[in-house]
Amino acid sequence: MISLSFTYLIMFWEGRKISIKRKLVMGIAGMIVGLSLIVEGSYAYFTDTHATDSFITNGTLNLEVDKETLMQIENMVPGDTVEGRIELSNNGSIDMEKVLLHSTYEVVDKGEPNQEDDLGEHIRVKLIHHDKEGEKVLFQQRLSQLTNNPEQMINAFPSGSGKESFTVQFTFVDNGGNQNHFQADKLKVKWNFEAVQRDGKTSSASSTHASFHDKTSIDGNLAIGTWNQEKSIKTDEQSNQQVEKDGQDTLESSEKANVEDKEQEATNAESKQNSEENSSGEAGEN
């Protein structure tokens, strides 16, 4: 009897342990589910979305010149000045901060050796800018000095602002010495016009190295004429001889006229004297 009661007690205790464990397990599971609901609930708010598009379009830098050839000149001689005209346009959508002129040239020696005498040293370049205020000489220097020495042609060139007009003069400088070795030579001139964009909206004025640039170029040829110095001297001698001959003829004509004038004066004096004598004789007879 006692044994049976002990057996029931053990079974009761074991059943109670299972019930406690079950309750513990269920409680822990409930806590986990609750925590998960809390965590998930933190993201279960109302949402709304709206998309916008942005478009960034780069501007264009477009510098144009109105001709392909600067000038084609034949038979220049010392003392000659030739003149041409060019026009630049900003046909892009970006304002230009400045326009620079880069000049290079090549001498084609076809005559006597130049003995390292650079023809570019004998060509003077004058650039004139025409604007609303009139004419302004931008520079006047030897062609050789322009090489690797860019000159600013325009300061601030807004988009769509119209054309900028320039006159270019090339002078073959007469140095008063012997320049015969330049006969038949030719100068090939190349001018590059470089446009630099305006400053960026948020950049400093010195940040133009990595900015937009545009270049356009034109070419020109200056050909030096030839002349025969011996023929020129002979022609001068003939001219001088002709002048002397003309002078001699003039002198002879003048002397002849003087003689004729004197003879006429003598004739007139004789006639006058005869007339006076006749008048006196007639008066005495009366």
Positive or negative torsion for Cα 137, 143, 144, 147 = positive
Q: What is the rounded CA–CA span in Å between residue 41 and residue 32?
A: 14
Q: Residue 225 is which amino acid?
A: G
Identify the H or E element spanning 217.
strand 213-224
User: pLDDT tens digits for 26-47?
Assistant: 666 667 656 565 555 554 556 6
Q: What is the rounded CA–CA span in Å between residue 142 and residue 121?
A: 6
pLDDT for residue 101: 94
- Please enumerate, as own/partner, the contacts of 134-137 that have beta carbons within 8 Å and a separation of 24 or more: 135/167
pTM beyond cutoff 0.95? no
* Alpha-carbon distance values, 152 to 144, 189, 191 (Å): 17, 18, 13
- Taking Cα atoms as reference points, which of 144, 153, 109, 152 lies closest to residue 124? 144
Within the chain, which residues score under 50 in pLDDT?
1-2, 4, 6, 43, 203, 205-210, 231-236, 286
